[in-house]
Amino acid sequence: MTGLVDVMTVDVQCIMPAIAELSKKFHTKIVTTSAKAKMQNALHIEFDEHRAKEVAREIVRLAIDNYPNRKTKGAHVTDKATLIGGFSHEYIEYMQGGRWRGSFRPLNDAIMAGRIRGVVGLAGCDNPRVPSTGLHKFLATELIKNDVLIVSTGCGSAACATSGYLTPENALENAGPGLREVCEAIGIRRYSTLAHAWTTQGY
């Protein structure tokens, strides 16, 4: 609705099928990349891990070609905020053991010792009755305060971002003593404790 999105690519995440119909009111093209997510009025470009770069270039080219169709109408967002969008699976291992001894053992040990009380996947979409910016912010605040590590995705991550929890300072400032101690011990004092699930899966 900003009028600034040239292409929206969707996969198997929680995308409302009506998005393709809605896009007709704008210049945005909707691209599906999974057979499970095919929908009417959307262009389908199947993702193939053996041709990942080629597929990505095809989608980016589509966006570039659609750029001249942008209009000045729309609610343009001008606010900016700094955040860390996530860590890869490999980097999380590296943070805990370095290049040669990368491991999840420090995190596992911290959970077994009770310094971290658990790991929670924070996900879920907005709806008219339950806006994620309220619910997810409350859950994230309480969980971090009680030494629970959060892995977030989708609307949950967006809510955490607007709450400031995807910046290192805010996340650790509100963390309980056990979670803070572990994060600082393994070198996350300057990094966020919240990581997008899709990033940890290597996307």
How far is the C-alpha of 86 from the C-alpha of 71, rounded, in Å?
Answer: 32
pLDDT of residue 88: 75
Instruction: Give the model confidence (pLDDT) of 72-103 as tens digits.
Output: 676 667 777 677 777 777 877 777 776 777 77
pLDDT at 10 over 80: yes
Tokens 């995308």 map to which residue? 15
List the domain boundaries for the chain. Answer: 7-69, 89-200
Asked whether 29 and 7 are in contact (CB, 8 A), the reply is: yes
Asked whether the domain spanning 89-200 has the same topology as the one spanning 7-69, the reply is yes
| H or E stretch at 9 | strand 7-10
What number of residues does the chain have?
A: 203
3.40.190.10, 3.20.20.70, 3.40.50.300, 3.40.50.2030: CATH of 89-200: 3.40.50.2030
What is the average per-residue pLDDT within 5-22?
85
As separate numbers, helices (DSSP H) first and strands (DSSP E) second, the chain gives 9, 6
The Cα–Cα gap between 156 and 129 comes to 16
106 against 197, higher pLDDT: 106
- Residue-wise pLDDT for 18-50, tens only, equals 888 989 888 999 999 998 888 888 999 999 999
- What is the rounded end-to-end Cα distance, in angstroms, of the chain? 26
Question: Using one digit for the tens of pLDDT, what is the confidence trace for 145-184?
Answer: 999 988 888 778 888 888 778 876 677 788 899 988 887 7
Residue 86, CA distances (Å) to 129, 168, 177 in order: 29, 11, 22
The conformation of residue 28, written as its DSSP 8-state character, comes to P
Whole-number Å distance between alpha carbons of 203 and 143: 26
Task: Supply the pLDDT for residue 55.
Answer: 95
Q: Which residue has the higher pLDDT, 131 or 193?
A: 131
- The residue ranges of DSSP E strands in 85-141, in sequence order, are 118-122
Specify the CATH architecture of the domain 7-69.
3-Layer(aba) Sandwich (3.40)
User: Which of the four pLDDT bands, split at 50, 70 and 90, describes residue 71?
Assistant: confident
Each residue's pLDDT tens digit, 113-139 = 998 999 998 887 777 677 767 788 888
Report CA 51 to chain centroid distance, whole Å. 24
**Residue entry with tokens 């009755």:** 129
Instruction: Read off the pTM.
Output: 0.63
